[in-house]
Structure 1
Amino acid sequence: MTDRALIAQLQGYGLTTAEIHYYRPDAPSLLQLFVWQDYDLAPDFPILFDFLDYWRREIEAALHSVRIAHDRLIRPTEWRAVKGEVDFH
């Protein structure tokens, strides 16, 4: 894990994976798959939607569908104070 990834997770970002199905103009009968992965904020996914906007502007391929999976690896709610001690002998 890189420092960038850890910092992003501590700021509330979670690992986001998108399966992007698309058609190329030179093979319109062939549905192709591109897998994209980055740290993003659910449920708005601003980084993913910026990438999809770039795709629509710059890449000559028609989007068919996008399937999104998101998992927060580190959340502030996972950390809690523990009161008391338990001794095992």
Structure 2
Amino acid sequence: MTKRPVSETELMLKGYGLTTAEFFYRMPDYRHVLNSYIWQDYDLAPDHPRLFEFIEFWQREIEGPLHSVRFTHRKLIAPGEWRNVVGEFRYH
């Protein structure tokens, strides 16, 4: 049985927020040169399992060693910001 893809809205309603990380890494052939890579995904704070999974992938598969990582996390839907609208009134 294949797993149905989860929409971004479903993830946000489950508590996920958008995590953006900037990876600074050394070039494989020029170790004195730093380069950067931007990564974004929906993740759960404060544990950030998807971010740490990507860091482990990087260390295992990418030749450029990591220098540092900085990241930010923003919950896009918070309590009190989302409500069910039952009707709409239009006024000319």
Partner of 1:62: 65
* TM-score, reference length from structure 2: 0.78
**What is the percentage of aligned positions where both structures have the same residue?**
55
Matched, 1:26 2:29: yes
TM-score, normalising length: structure 1: 0.80
SS in 2 for 1:76: coil
Q: Which amino acid aligns with 2:24?
A: H
More strand by share: 1
Question: Aligned-pair RMSD on alpha carbons?
Answer: 1.5
More helix by share: 1
Displacement over 4 Å in runs of 4+: none
User: Tell me, which stretches of 5 or more residues in structure 2 are unaligned?
Assistant: 1-5, 84-92
Q: Which runs of 5+ in 1 are unaligned?
A: 81-89
C-alpha distance 79-5 of structure 1, shift in aligned 2 (>3 A): closer
Q: Shift of the alpha carbon at 1:78? A: 3.1
1:17 and 2:20 aligned: yes
Aligned residue runs from structure 1 range 42-81, under 5 A: 42-79=45-82
